């Protein structure tokens, strides 16, 4: 049978996730990091497919999915959430073909800025992205710590907060915070997270002002987190650590950009360890993330 590239359908998403998990674990094991990915329900993929189907593609041979690409667009930003080829089929041009189709999604959407997060130790993906005009900007480290250790070290200024709600007032504040921190509006992404039962979101307050937000997952993972001013990022992160410790998960983790000195120092002071080094690759006009911590390499 011959290889075809076609738009992804809802019924592909679980099988595509299996390829992604196998491909990540193959890569991380080959580089000595051990397996790190586990299958999860493809909720954000389903949301993206319903929201804008132009960014999700599969490579298929007979009935077997061999590769999956998924991009989303917000304002002028195109973000490549996933590009994965099944371990036994890499190096045959499948990744290039899938990437071409998602870049066409950027062109059709009028997105001028492009970005993604990939593994620092994957020479192939980085070479592929450089070839398509996306260049390494800064490292992003996944940090992790045992909850018990974190609890024994938890200290430092924190923000007062209120639970995030899908109200016009909160959505307006979230849009303003994102405009200051990222230059991108992510209204639908916030609605998605606020309605995700496994995620807790809070608005950070200073007096009557909404100065940032934090989301924490029930598995102790922090992010996204954003603040309107970079001098608030330390207290925002400490607040997030306290919320993550409250989640009851045995581990607390976060993706921390190499540009956030204050947060990196706080992470190390709180006993957090780097588990996976990643890198943000983007067109040159993407900013330096001193007020933003991403959720993961797919959500950004």
Ligand X SMILES: CC(C)(COP(=O)(O)OP(=O)(O)OC[C@H]1O[C@@H](n2cnc3c(N)ncnc32)[C@H](O)[C@@H]1OP(=O)(O)O)[C@@H](O)C(=O)NCCC(=O)NCCS
Residues near ligand X, by CB under 6 A: 23, 27, 83-85, 90-96, 116, 118-119, 122-125, 127-128, 131
The phi and psi torsions of 151 (rounded to 5 degrees) equal: -60, -35
- Closer to ligand X at the Cβ: 93 or 163? 93
The C-alpha atoms of residue 227 and residue 299 are separated, in whole angstroms, by 18
Minimum CB separation of residue 286 from ligand X in Å reads 16
| 128 versus 206: smaller Cβ distance to ligand X | 128
Cα distances from 180 to residues 135, 184, 204, in angstroms, run 23, 8, 15
CB of 3 to ligand X, least distance (A): 11
Helix axes 168-181, 187-194, angle to 10 degrees: 120
Which residue minimizes CB distance to ligand X?
Answer: 127
* Closest distance of CB 45 from ligand X, Å: 15
Residues 41, 52: Cα–Cα separation, whole Å? 19
Q: How far is the CB of 277 from ligand X (least distance, A)?
A: 13
Instruction: Quote the least distance from Cβ 107 to ligand X, whole Å.
Output: 19
Consecutive H or E run containing 148: helix 147-153
86 vs 239, beta carbon nearer ligand X = 86
CA 180 to chain centre: 19
Nearer to ligand X, 14 or 187 (CB): 14
Minimum separation from the CB atom of position 258 to ligand X (A) = 17
> For residues 84 and 290, what is the distance between their CA atoms, to the nearest angstrom?
29
Nearer to ligand X, 23 or 253 (CB): 23
Q: Categorise residue 156: left if φ over 0, alpha if ψ from -120 to 50, beta otherwise.
A: left
- Measured distance CA(220)–CA(148) in Å, rounded: 12
Measured from the CB atom, the residue of 214 and 280 that comes closer to ligand X is: 280
């Amino acid at each position: 049978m011959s290889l075809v590239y076609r738009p992804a359908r809802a019924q592909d998403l679980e099988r595509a996730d299996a390829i992604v998990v196998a491909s990540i674990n193959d890569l991380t094991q080959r580089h000595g990091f051990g397996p790190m990915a586990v299958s999860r329900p493809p909720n954000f993929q389903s949301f993206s497919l319903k929201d804008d189907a132009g960014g999700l593609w599969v490579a298929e041979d007979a009935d077997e999915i061999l590769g999956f690409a998924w991009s989303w667009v917000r304002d002028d930003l195109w973000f490549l959430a996933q590009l994965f080829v099944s371990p036994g089929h890499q190096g045959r041009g499948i990744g290039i073909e899938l990437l071409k189709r998602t870049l066409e999604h950027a062109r059709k959407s009028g997105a001028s800025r492009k970005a993604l997060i990939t593994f620092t130790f994957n020479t192939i993906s980085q070479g592929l992205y450089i070839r398509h005009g996306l260049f390494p900007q800064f490292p992003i480290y996944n940090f992790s710590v045992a909850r018990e250790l974190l609890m024994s070290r938890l200290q430092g200024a924190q923000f007062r907060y209120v639970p995030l709600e899908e109200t016009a007032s909160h959505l307006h504040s979230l849009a303003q915070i994102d405009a200051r921190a990222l230059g991108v509006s992510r209204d639908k992404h916030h609605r998605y997270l606020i309605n995700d039962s496994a995620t807790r979101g809070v608005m950070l307050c200073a007096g009557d002002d909404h100065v940032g937000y934090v989301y924490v997952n029930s598995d102790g993972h922090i992010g996204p987190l954003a603040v309107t001013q970079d001098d608030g990022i330390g207290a925002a992160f400490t607040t997030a650590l306290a919320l993550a410790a409250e989640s009851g998960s045995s581990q607390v983790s976060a993706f921390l950009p190499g540009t956030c000195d204050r947060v990196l120092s706080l992470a190390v002071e709180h006993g957090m360890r780097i588990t996976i080094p990643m890198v943000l690759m983007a067109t040159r006009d993407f900013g330096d993330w001193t007020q933003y911590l991403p959720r993961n390499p797919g959500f950004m």
